[in-house]
Amino acid sequence: EADIYQTPRYLVIGTGKKITLECSQTMGHDKMYWYQQDPGMELHLIHYSYGVNSTEKGDLSSESTVSRIRTEHFPLTLESARPSHTSQYLCASSEWSDSNEQFFGPGTRLTVL
Amino acid sequence: DQQVKQNSPSLSVQEGRISILNCDYTNSMFDYFLWYKKYPAEGPTFLISISSIKDKNEDGRFTVFLNKSAKHLSLHIVPSQPGDSAVYFCAASKWRGAQKLVFGQGTRLTINP
């Protein structure tokens, strides 16, 4: 069973605030990902990491930043939230194997007023 | 440029009948495909996958068919059950074990009793 957690699940915040979305996994996976999804749209990869101290930008440009100081933890930070950042943010992880299966967390629904 | 397309935003099927969800892709470099299922307020969960060296993969009630020449894949669910009501995402990658998945926009399947 996949064990990947995201907090908070829902966040409503005002413009200009700094926010950090937390993502943790207990499976020891080296690879972790952040996706952004709007309703009725595809998931867009915004950041990924191959392991500790490794981070890469994804296919969709994002003003957010990420860090990977510990294997199990992959937080995403927005320095100054804007209404255009309103979306669902999904964290995922996978292991180094032939399988492309990624395990997803429950997501954080962010609303910026 | 959307490389993975699910042209039906929604599908309604009667319980016990077959559900067929379709997915088209444009990038001929894709050779590994996955289907994910997503319930509201949860992250996507892996359902079934197929490699380009196959044209069919079966797992219980779920079968995925791949037509490489048409750049088309489909997911068949038979018999459909009420618990199958969810959003289904098709995803593709350039090789098995790749870090990046490209997702379609999803199809909302509703199973009617």
Residues of B with Cβ-Cβ distance to A88 under 8 angstroms: none
Q: Which distant-in-sequence residues (6+ apart) come within 8 Å of A1 by Cβ?
A: none
Local confidence band at A1 (pLDDT 50, 70, 90 cut-offs): low
Structural Rg of chain A based on CA atoms: 13
Contact check, Cβ <8 Å, B96/A103: no
Q: Is the pLDDT of residue B104 over 60?
A: yes
How far apart CA B27 and CA B3 sit, in angstroms, is: 6
Q: Indicate the length of chain A as a whole number.
A: 113
Q: Is the pLDDT of residue B96 over 90?
A: no
How close does chain B come to A85, measured CA to CA in Å? 19
| Token duo for residue A6 | 């995201």
Q: Which of B109, B104, B91 is nearest to B7 (CA)?
A: B104
Q: Is the minimum CB–CB distance between A5 and chain B shorter than 8 Å?
A: no
Q: Is the pLDDT of residue B25 over 90?
A: yes
Residue B102 dihedral angles phi and psi, to the nearest 5°: -110, 125
Roughly how many angstroms between the first and final C-alpha of chain B, as a whole number? 38
How close does chain B come to A11, measured CA to CA in Å? 13
